[in-house]
Every structure is written in structure tokens, then in C-alpha cells.
Structure 1
Amino acid sequence: MQVQVSVIVAVYNEARWIRRCLTSLRQQTLVGLEVIVVDDGSTDGTAAICDQYAQQWPQTFRVIHQSNRGQGPARNVGIAAAQGRYLGFVDGDDWVEPTMYATLLATAERSHAQIVVCDVRKLYVATNRETSLQSLPAASDHVDIAAYLKYGLNNAYSGNKLYARNCWTNCRYQPMVYEDLDILLDMLSRCERVAYVQQPFYNYYKHAGSTTLDYTNPRLFDIMTAYRDAVAHAAPRYVDAVTYCVAKRILINLATPGFIDYLAPFTELIRGLATAFKASPSVMNDPAIKRILYYATQPTLPPYLICTVQNWLDSWQTYSRGLTVIMPKTGQTPGQIKARPDAVKRDYWQLQGLFDHGGLLVLGPVTLQRPFGQLRAGGDVVVYRGERCVVLGAQPQSPLVFELCQRLLSGPQSLSQLLTSIKTQPQQWALVTNNLRRVAVTHWVH
């Protein structure tokens, strides 16, 4: 029997849900369905459950075991092994309605569409609610692709689609989070025809442990790469629609409280895409979306970190992407501090490095528990634990850093004492701290 549709299920430690997923696929009404389960190094019993299905229904299920490589690479293994004329994807903690693939295949055959889309029912475990919104206003065998890219729901989601095999000839998932977003807008922009079935066939189970709901997870930096790739790789005839979609999505991210910890990277992303946004008629003609260009004008501290204590660095590097650690250069010690302790000389050269490059200077032990994009979003900043400054952030050529250097050279106070006085005696620093942000160590550190 010819395989009509190959469904690829990439799984990792999903023993709690995988039976429901595989059972929903076994119950499909489509004749000629194969299910390729790629066990991506599971350690919780998932592999054994998958093997049971393959042993009991070998005509439907195949299992491939591999060491853990991530969902994107696991899906790629399934794509390479698939025999079907069409491909579909289901996450191991989701499930599908019994007629999903029969309906999508019939639509693809009738419409000659390269991709057929259906709606998604989302089930939110934490809040015990569900949503089922229509992706487009009406079902269609010939969707307006530009409109779907700009306004359609779930357009950058893999599971609610059936793909002609040739969609994947030159496409593969990247080893990243948001691997769907990275590839699907590009793929849709290269289609000649897309069809839409207005039925919520795909059930998306949003449980509390989801990576994309854990905003403290530094893997979420991948969303920046996905947005850049989407705009850079879009087919010319739909680059306006893809750019509009990306701008709209970024604004939604910025309005999501959890993403505040990524504010500086988002600002830098927008600055890098500003030319594309300005070249997009759809962005520029929509006042609500055009306001994204406001962020391109906002300052961020340069992505440099000055820290001379090695064991303080670990969490800063864990919760960043593209941050460069620089060691301050030393030269001839100014005569004013030659006789002072080595710690003062070290502080002077650290301030010189901060003055030259800008960025963040770590002056005390701070163990992060989430990204620190808020700290880098804006101008000069001091972070206090009690009255002690543990982090000093500045723009290059900062008047505050210059003044700190001068006072360190001219007086008996240490850098730590000077920074404490900014908090306790602010009137003495009024000329150089007009726009200074004063931050207490709060939720973003242990």
C-alpha cells in the first residue's frame, strides 16, 4: 500500500502524554498513514512506550532511537526516513482529531495546494482554559498567502499543517528553540498555493513545563535568530508580508511581561531590522505596527562585560547571547594612585575599560536566575545590594564614569565608597547622574 502521509513525532521525556498522542494517530481514518516516532534520547520510559506501539501496530508505527539532539534535528531525521507523498508533524505532548489527516489530504489533492492549514485548539493547563480561534475568516482552497502571512493565526506553527513532500527538498529545521518560526514563514512565502480547512483538528497542550513559557530559559534568545532568518530568507514577492508578520510578532513579545528580561536584545534586533521595516509598505501604513520603529531609537548598553573575578562570570554568560567579556587593559599607573593599594589601581583600569567600551562592570558577586536585558536597556545604571554597588553599567564616554575616575585619582575614597555615595549623597553627583538608573538587586538574581 502506498504511503500517502508520513507523520513525524519527535519525542523527548514525554511518557506522561505520548500514549494519548500515538493513540490519536492510530485512530486516524486515513488509509496509507505511517507514523515515524523519533525518540530523541528519552530517559523517562518514553522509548519503551513508543516501542510497544511499533510492536503492536507495525504497519503504522516506526520508531527511531537516537541520542538527544533537540526537536529540530529529531524532526529532520524523521523527514529523511519518511516515505509519504505528504508530511505532517505532531509534538509528543499534543494530539489530533481522528479525521485530521484524511481531511487535509483530500483538500490537498483537490486544491493542488503545497500546504494545507487547519485550526488549533490550545489547552492551557496552568489556567484550566482552552481557546480555538479561526486562523482565517473562511475556508479556502486558494488562500491569499500574503494575508495569511500578515494576519493568519498559527502561521509559524508546524503541527497544524500538511506539507507536500517537495516543500522539504531544500529545507530542514535548525537546532534551536522556535525552529518552526525560523523556517515556516520562509516556506510559506515560497508556496504557489496554500489551502485552509476551518476546523480545529490539532490539539496543542500548553503545560507548565513548556520551554517557550519559561521566560528565564536563555534558549529563548533563539527567537531573535528566528526573526532575522524569517526576514532575510523570505521570497521577494512576500517579503513585505513576512516583514509585517515579524514586526507584529515582536510587538506582541514586547507586550508580554516575561519578555521584559530580553528588552535590550529585542531593541537591538529592531534596530538591525529597521531598514527592512521602513521598506515595508504594510508596516509603514499601519500606525499600530509602525510604532515598532520607536524602539530602534532607544539606547542600549554595549554588549560588553568587564569582570576580573572568574567565578562571578558563569551566570552572566549563561543568561546572555552575544555578550563579550573584556579584560581591562593596563598601562602606566597615574602618579596620583601609585602609592595606593592594588585594589584601587585595578578599579581605575576597570573604569577606564568601561569608559572606552561601555557595557557592564561587575563589582560584586551576583548570581543571576534570568536574563538581564532590562539592565542593558537604557543609559547608565547602578545596581545596589543594600548600599553596596555590585554592577555599574554605562555608555561609552560616560560623564559619570569620567567623574568616578577623576575622584578616584584625586581623593582617598575607593571606588566602592564613591559608588555608595551616589546613593547616600546624591546631591554631590547631580551634574553627572541626571538620567542615571538606580536599581536594587531584585527578582533577576538569587
Structure 2
Amino acid sequence: MDYNKTLSVIIPVYNTERYLKRCLDSALAALPDNSEILIVNDGSPDQSEKIAMEYFEEFPEIIRYFYKTNGGLSDAKNYGLNHAEGEYIIFLDSDDYIDPDMYNEILNEMKQSGAQLGICDIDCEYETDGSSVISHCYNPNRGSVFFQIIDTPLVAASWNKIIHRSLFNGLDYPTGLNNEDVAVTPIILARANHCVIVKKPMYKYVQRPGSIQNSKFSNKRFVIIETTNIAIERAAELPIHIQRQIKGSLYIHQILGVALYPIRNQQFFKRYSMIKEYMRKVNSCFDDFFQNRYVLDNGLMDNRKHRIFKRLSVILLKRKLYLATSIFFEFINVAEKINAQMVKKGHK
């Protein structure tokens, strides 16, 4: 297939007027030759359209602007894919930004090795306190490059991965569902002939109040069960050992991760109620969940403190001791707060 452009950067936009200029400036600075930026305005009611139009009028050879009625992030991503002309695809969240070397550096590594996919680390920037945490895109304790990438909490992210267009064949983002990347990215990773890892935090992942990931947690986020199920069904096209690795990764980093982190951080009674509801759905949808060896071994490669936390959590959840789980999580939360206060005092 002939491609008109080298790279298509797809930027879905919805209510991010405060961040959009920084995002677009960073994309323009990083854009390789003969590449394009697609701004997909998903019916945003704020001033995002005005900002996007200003950039489109200034850079008409580079930027393509599309307005569509609101259909959600999945719909905006599908729309961008259907209009992209690049041989390679990457997404960029409109409230995030990137280093100027990101796209060229990953593409150069990919072309040198003939890889269909390239990935980099991310820099999580927290608006509330100005802190920053580097998250690696790979797990060095795993063997193959695929397994190193698949066995991480951010495996599903679409914005730190440059992907050859052909890997999207027959795949779309499930319209109307959040956590949409979970249903697509693991399959793309498995399809790639080879993946390259650039061990630099070139993607700036802004953690802001009000974003989808940081908004008030509710049982709407249980949609992760549905998107995980879609990914497992789609993985049926792949070799059985790859299917097992994908399922194991999704079970521990997506399904179990929701219980161990966002649900754990709720107030006690809400936490207890949500654990019961969530785990009943998990057990109903995934009857092999607590027999899966990745779930049973979860935490094996962590430090002692995290290993104990994860292993005890799995034991309690497996036995459906949800009240005991909520109490255990309360002790963990209190301990973490005390530790954070001690660390803070130590820096004064």
C-alpha cells in the first residue's frame, strides 16, 4: 500500500482549551518531514475549536482539522484513523505534550531495525503538587521484548507508541467505552514483527484534576471488564502462548489493578461496596481469574513491601473476604500517608 505521509499524529480534542496550545506546539516541534497532524474536535463546547482553527490556518500544509459531533474518545480515534494518510500512526492526548525529539528518535530506531512498532518511557507530571514520576514502558524482568512491554501497567497506552498502519487492519476502538486502548493496543503489540524500546521519558503525561483518569471514581470505570473481554476475544487469532501472556497482563494490570489502586483509595464504606460489586462482576466474566498463574504470582518481582501487599490482596479477594479486604486496604492507606508525611518532613 502507498502512503502519502510518513507519520500521522492524531489528536482527539474535548474540553482542553487550557492545554491545547502547548500540545500543538510540542507536536509541531517534533513532527518529522512529510508528516501530518490531525486534530479531531469531538464536539468540544469550549474554546478548543477557535484555538485549533488558528493553528490550522497558520499551518495548512501540516495540520488537518476535523469537527464531528460528540461521540466519545473511541469514536474520535476511529475517525482519525479513517482519515490518516501516514504509514505510521501515533495518538497524542490534547492535554499532554511531548519532547521535540520523540517522534524522530523512535522512528529512526524503528527504521534501523525494521520494526513495526516503537515505544518510549513516560514522564507523569502531577499538576496538584508539581511533582514528576518516570514510568518505564518495559519490564526488564521478562524475556522477550514483547513480554517486557506487555507486562507493564501502561501497556494499553496508545500515545507513547508509534505503530505501523497495517497493524490496525480489522481493529477499531469500541465506541462508547472508556479504557478503549485496552481492546486494541495488546493485539497490535502481538501483531508487530518487532518492537523497539527507546528508554527515555519523552511523553509528558499530565495528571490533571477533571481528566478521565483522574475524575471522581465510580462504577462506570468497571467498563475495564468489558474492554478486557474484547481484547481477550480478539487475541484468539494469536498463538496460544501469546494469548496467555496478554490475558495475564490484562488480569493483573487492568482488572486487578482497579481493585488494588483506585477502589482502594475510596472511603471505607464506599470501598467495601465497590469491592463487592466489582469482584462479583469479575468472577462472573472471568471464571479462570483466580486460577490464572499471573494473578497467583502477582507481586513476585516487586520489592518485599509491594509483594506482600499484592499477595495478601489476592488471597483475600480470592476468598471473597471483601470486608477484610477493605479493612486491609485501610491499614495500607494509613501507612502510606504516614510514610509520605515522614518523607516530606525529611526533605525540609
Q: Same fold (TM over 0.5)?
A: yes
Q: What's the secondary structure of 1:118's corresponding residue? A: strand
Letter in 2 for 1:110: Q
SS for the counterpart of 1:121 is strand
Structure 2: which amino acid aligns with 1:252? G
Partner of 2:333: none
1:252 to 257, 272, 275: 257
Structure with larger RCO (C-alpha < 8 A, sep 6+): 2
2:186, 2:81 → 1: CA distance? Answer: 19
- Structure 1 residue 284, shift from structure 2 partner: 4.3
Task: Report the CA distance between 1:168 and its aligned residue.
Answer: 1.1
Select which of 2, 25, 30 maps to 2:27. 25
Residue equivalent to 1:197: 198
The answer for the alignment partner of 1:135 in structure 2 is 137
User: 1: distance between equivalents of 2:195 and 2:277?
Assistant: 34
Deviations 1:341-397 (A, max 9, x none): xxxxxxxxxxxxxxxxxxxxxxxxxxxxxxxxx9xx9xxxxxxxxxxxxxxxxxxxx
Give deviations 1:261-312, integer Å, cap 9, x for gaps. Answer: 531333124313242552x444445566776375344289xxxxxxxxxxxx
Q: TM-score, normalised by structure 2?
A: 0.78
Distance of aligned partners of 1:277 and 1:33 in 2 relative to their CA distance in 1, 3 Å threshold: farther
Change (3 A) 1:197 1:105: same
For residues 187-211 of structure 1, the C-alpha deviation after alignment (integer angstroms, 9 at most, x for no partner) is: 2233331111111111111100112
> What's the counterpart of residue 164 of structure 2?
164
Q: Show the counterpart of 1:187.
A: 188
Compared CA separation, residues 265 and 230, structure 1 to 2 (3 A): farther
Worse overlay, 262-271 or 100-109: 262-271
Residue type of the alignment partner of 1:292: V
Match of 2:342 in 1: none
Looking at structure 1, the residues matched to 156 and 76 of structure 2 have their Cα atoms a distance apart, in angstroms, of 19
* Structure-2 separation of matches of 1:13 and 1:239: 37
| Structure 1 residues 105 and 281, CA gap change in structure 2 (3 angstroms) | same
Distance 2:139 2:212 in 1: 31
How many residues end up aligned between the 2 structures?
297
- Aligned residues of 1:136 and 1:153 also touching (Cα < 8 A): no
Identity of paired residues, percent? 23
* SS of alignment partner, residue 103 of structure 2: helix
**Tell me, what secondary structure is at the counterpart of 1:213?**
coil
CA contact (8 A) 2:252 2:294 kept: no
CA distance in 2 between counterparts of 1:269 and 1:144 reads 33
Post-superposition CA distance 1:315-359 (Å, at most 9, x none): xxxxxxxxxxxxxxxxxxxxxxxxxxxxxxxxxxxxxxxxxxxxx
Q: Name the structure 1 match of 2:288.
A: 275
Q: Tell me the secondary structure at the aligned position of residue 277 of structure 2.
A: helix
2:320 corresponding residue in structure 1: 298
Offset, 1:92: 0.6
Q: Matched residues in 2 for 1:207 and 1:239: separation?
A: 34
Shift in CA distance, 293/266, structure 1 to aligned 2, threshold 3 Å? farther
Q: In structure 1, give the amino acid aligned to 2:274.
A: Y
Change (3 A) 1:204 1:26: same
SS of residue matched to 1:32: coil
TM-score normalised by length of structure 1: 0.61
**Aligned residue type for 2:200:** Q
Once the 2 structures are TM-superposed, how far is the Cα of residue 77 of structure 1 from its aligned partner? 0.6
Which secondary structure state, in structure 2, belongs to the residue aligned with residue 292 of structure 1? helix
SS of the residue corresponding to residue 196 of structure 2 reads: strand
1:114/1:194 contact within 8 Å kept: yes
Alignment CA distance shift 1:216-1:132 (3 Å): closer
Distance 1:212 1:293, change over 3 A: same
Give 2:243's aligned residue: 239
For 2:105 and 2:277, the matched residues in 1 are separated by 42
Q: Which residue of 1 aligns with 2:155?
A: 155
Structure number with greater Rg is 1
Alignment of 1:197-216 (within 5 A): 197-216=198-217
CA distance in 2, matches of 1:68, 1:93: 18
* Closer/same/farther in 2, CA of residues 58 and 122 from structure 1, 3 Å limit: same
1:230 maps to 231
Letter in 2 for 1:206: Q
**Coordinate RMSD, CA, aligned:** 2.6
Q: What SS does the aligned partner of 1:267 have?
A: helix
Q: What is the CA distance between 1:72 and its match in structure 2?
A: 0.9
> Tell me, which stretches of 5 or more residues in structure 2 are unaligned?
301-306, 327-348
How far did residue 118 of structure 1 move? 0.5
Q: Which 5+ residue runs of structure 1 have no aligned equivalent?
A: 301-373, 378-446
Distance 1:285 1:48, change over 3 A: closer
> Which residue is equivalent to 1:443?
none
Structure 2 residue 72 is matched with structure 1 residue 70: yes
**Contact 1:132–1:200 (CA under 8 A) maintained in structure 2:** yes
Deviation at 1:177, TM superposition (A): 1.0
Change (3 A) 1:242 1:82: same
Q: In the aligned structure 2, how far is the partner of 1:277 from the partner of 1:216? A: 25
Equivalent-residue separation in structure 2 for 1:276 and 1:252 (angstroms): 13
Paired with 2:68 and 2:21, the residues of 1 have a C-alpha distance of 20
Residues 17 and 81 of structure 1: CA distance in aligned 2, closer, same or farther (over 3 Å): same
